[in-house]
Amino acid sequence: MSLTAADITDLRTALKLLDQHGELAQTDVEADPVAELCGAYRHIGAGGTVARPTRIGPAMLFNKVKRHPGARVAIGVLSSRKRAALLLGTEPERLGWHLMDALQHLIQPTAIKGIAPCQEAVHRADEPGFDLRRLVPAPTNTPEDAGPYVTMGLLYGKDPENGDEDVTIHRMCLQGPDTLSVWFSPGRHIDVFRAKAEAAGKPLPVSVSIGLDPAIYLGACFEPPMTPIGFNELAIAGALRGRAVEQCACLTVDAKALAWAEYVIEGEILPNVRIAEDAQSGNGKAMPEFPGYCGPSDPQTPVMRVTAVTHRLHPIMQTTIGPSEEHVNLAGIPTEASILGLVERAMPGRVRNVYAASCGGGKFMAVLQFRKATIADEGRQRQAALLAFSAFPELKHVFLVDDDVDPFDMSDVLWAMTTRYQGNFDTVFLPGVRGHVLDPTQSPLYDARIPARGVGCKAIFDCTVPFDQKERFQRAPFMEVDPGKFLI
């Protein structure tokens, strides 16, 4: 039976749809999850800010994984806009608008009826021989990684004071038979929940769901202010699919998990317990992050004590390469939707599209395609850029282009910068603003004048033509011709 995006309920149906469209490659050659698997996919389809040579290629399913009989590993499911659009039933250039629309039509998650597929097999930590590292085939991106990482795990937690729920993706390193370290980027909501529980001297019950419907991952990657604390991002995925995301109760902790996940790790984030993220390697590195560099290890990482691992039969571990195009899309498409949502409310019809560019890892750079309809719109393009920084505070650079420039074609964007921009007139600097701790330039180590890690200078590059000079900047007009009749 031919599938469509409307038929996707989990990772398996998503992979079947990709296979139907020639967007999935499979191999029965055994791959070592320690560096080899990601090293191979770096060439096959990673893209993004990964060190060259790399490319955007098919998603990949490794059917045999060394030391993990019966398990499989999927990687790169969302490593192209074409695939993301296919999986959501839209067009690549409409992805931001599609997610923005979902924000207006939320469908809250619901409890599954009957036994959850994610609990077909159950391994409790109090059973003899329990070892998280044996049960979960988490890869390392490189030989220098601090250890095996869960990179596509959806961490669930709830506010211990009011019961608000949240789901987010974090890097989580397998540190021992029943120990995970969880690195929280500053401001993440579950870290707020963790801090509240810690202040009360209590652990925070959590779950980590791995291997999911791609709509769930994309919905979970929205950030404040579009999704403030107390906002359950699973409602966005529900809107994208037109039906509620199904959850189930965990078996060993007071938390919920995603019912159709391939793997679920249950446990508690312990109060006042920390571990060096690189405890196993001692090399000061964590894993490659979206800017393209190895993220520094955190010497004081919160610890999750694992109480159980559950999974489906013949489970599929889902993973991603930290700086890959997959991260660009996971972070960038919700960023685009957030910017479109805020700017559209402020000045309807002016921003035609937004692209969170690959070179910025989906977080640091956005291209805004702006239409100046009248002379009164002159200057409003820069207001739109300021709103973009408000919609997504981790953004570093905004490029403004006219509506005759393709915002998804960086050569066209740089053409506009080359021919429609003067650095001393058309650059707006916003120094001393909070950005992101993973930008290596936002650090006193880069320049002593920078006051703290994660603080830097944001910039607007206005590559739009002054309204009263539009005639001078008309692109060469070609005859509209159907090329099909000339191609055999």
- Do the beta carbons of residue 286 and residue 221 sit within 8 Å? no
How far apart are alpha carbons 146 and 171 in whole angstroms?
Answer: 11
Catalytic-labelled residue, pool 289, 325, 336, 394: 289
Q: Tell how strand 263-275 and strand 204-210 pair up.
A: antiparallel
* CA–CA gap between residue 385 and residue 370 (Å, rounded): 10
Q: Quick one: tokens of 241?
A: 């699919």
289 is catalytic: yes
**CB 321 within 8 Å of CB 328:** no
Q: Which residue has the tokens 């078996």?
A: 251
What are the start-end ranges of the H helices in 366-468? 380-391, 410-419, 423-426
Residue among 210, 309, 215 nearest 260 (CA): 210
CA-nearest of 358, 288, 277, 332 to 39 is 288
Tokens at 239, concatenated = 């809107």
Please list the residues that pair with 316 across neighbouring strands. 72
- Walk across the sheet containing 246-249 and list its strands: 110-111, 246-249, 256-258
Residue type, 356: A
The type of residue at 425 is: F
Instruction: Assign 117 to helix, strand or coil.
Output: helix
Return the exposure string of 87-103: e unless at least 16 CB atoms fall within 10 Å of the residue's CB, then b: bbbbeeeebbbbbbbbb
Q: Is 242 exposed, middle or buried (0-12, 13-18, 19+ CB in 10 A)?
A: exposed
Cα 437 to Cα 280: distance, rounded to the nearest angstrom: 23
Closest CA to 151 of 87, 239, 203, 79: 79
Positions marked catalytic: 289
